[in-house]
Amino acid sequence: MPDRNPPLFTRVLIANRGEIALRIVRACREAGVESVAVYSDADRGLPFVRAADHAVGIGPSPAGQSYLRVDKLLAAARDSGAGAIHPGYGFLAERADFARAVEDAGLVFIGPPSAAIQAMGDKTEARKRMIAAGVPVVPGSEGPVTDPAAAAVVANALGFPVLVKAVAGGGGRGMREVHREADLAGALTSAASEAEKAFGDARVYLEKLILRPRHIEIQILADEARTIHLGERECSIQRRHQKVVEEAPSSAVDARLRDAMGAAAVAAATAVGYRGAGTCEFLLGADGRFFFLEMNTRIQVEHPVTEMVYGVDLVREQLRIAAGHLMSLPETPPAPHGWSIECRITSEDPSNAFLPSTGKITYLSSPSGPGIRWDAGYESGDEVTLHYDSLLAKLIAVAPTRPAAIDRMQRALEELVIVGVSSNQAFLRRLLSHHDFRRGEIDIAFLDRNPHLASPPADEEALLPAVILAALLDAERRHTVRPVVAEGATTGSEWLRVARREGLR
């Protein structure tokens, strides 16, 4: 029999950056595990680097020369004495070849086995496995499609509209809606080209486009003894297939539907021998029918809302399971308690087609108070570059009911002050005030139907200079000094802090 309580790792390397890297650093510290941050030239002074117990530079700012270099990550793990690697989300998190390389190097990959990532990473193969496991899937082609004539036959059999989707990857890249046959060939070409650039795999396939569905995902946890689910997250507020606001639970899901979707997610995970934390994504139709979309074989950006309503530390559970422990949850999984909403705070200008905004954050004041959580990748004085995605932070609110959670989030968004780069803060406040959102009448096309939310009303725009001036005056009064921790140190003197600050600069 295996040892049920082997020790946790001594040291874990985090193959990621920003807020998720800092989130993992914190989980490691609470578990008594040392953390190793890796950083590119652009990130050398960010909070996750300063917070980690050790930090290793891995190269130039472009991700292709740093965070996506498997050889550099493995070398950093070897040189720092790390026994395991946590991939976070994005970058290499769902690359089976990376997980396999970690395993082959004699290290522990804090995630599912490479075989499970491989099985779920190929969307057409995953569909076949789900059908075999009895999990309902969206009707679609049996495999990749390349020839426009053959694709037209499949599309007409499915019935327009259809969706062209990349076999590999996700996040809306390599995806095109097609509402008539005349547009199909062009959509195949453009989707394949985008998929090739994003994932190195140009294969695409067809799915029936479900009109105005809700996007519901189920959180699962699996160890060597059992697989459970921790309810649903509502992720229907999306822009170009990128999630903007998430919540748990969903106003469209009752206990019966939660049980049915949860059972399907557990069946999906079991079918591929899953271990660790993962998410099954479903489309939920207005008639109550749901269809499997894909499985994200990693921790999700929106995992905090599940943590808030289920009282579970999902990253801590990832560490436990990867180290050979059983999950710490009781035999009867907890029920959801209260309501949680997450807003993604991004450095984008909604009034200018959501173009990315870069530069130095000259002042940042984060919200706090009852029921508020702030998971951030940046602080005042940090530089936001074009090398990575636009996520600055995640703002999470929890309250006893959905209306109370919305009100709490609105209050927190009012408290938030960001100066130096544009953000989507005001856009989020307008979104949460929309009468349909407050009633829970949402679907994945909600933002498409409400493009006016991106543009501020005249009175709001007129107040902006005054708000910025007030924030700058407050910053000047505070004379804020950012703390810096010496590389390799968990505590210690001001001398070490100064040494690390100068070294990282």
What positions carry a catalytic annotation? 298
Beta bridge partners of 375: 394
Count of alpha carbons within 13 angstroms of residue 153, beta-carbon side: 6
Helix (H, G, I), strand (E, B) or coil at 283: strand
Residue position matching structure tokens 């946790």:
8
Spatial separation of the C-alpha atoms in residues 131 and 288, rounded to whole Å:
19
Write out 196-241 in H/E/C secondary structure: HHHHCCCCEEEEECCCCCEEEEEEEEECCCCEEEEEEEEEEEEECC
Helix (H, G, I), strand (E, B) or coil at 166: strand
Amino acid at 391: L
Contacts of residue 145, Cβ cutoff 8 Å, sequence gap at least 6: 151, 154, 188, 204, 205, 206
Helix (H, G, I), strand (E, B) or coil at 165: strand
Burial 135-166 (b: 16+ CB within 10 A, else e): bbbbebbeebbeeeeebbebbeebeeebbbbb
User: Could you tell me how far CA 377 lies from the centroid of its own chain?
Assistant: 13
**Quick one: angle between helices 314-322 and 303-310, nearest 10?**
100
Spatial separation of the C-alpha atoms in residues 497 and 173, rounded to whole Å:
42
Spatial separation of the C-alpha atoms in residues 250 and 272, rounded to whole Å:
27
Q: Is 9 left (phi over 0), alpha (psi -120 to 50) or beta?
A: beta
Helix (H, G, I), strand (E, B) or coil at 272: coil
24, 315 Cβ separation under 8 angstroms: yes
Q: How large is the C-alpha radius of gyration of the chain? A: 23
Spatial separation of the C-alpha atoms in residues 157 and 323, rounded to whole Å:
48
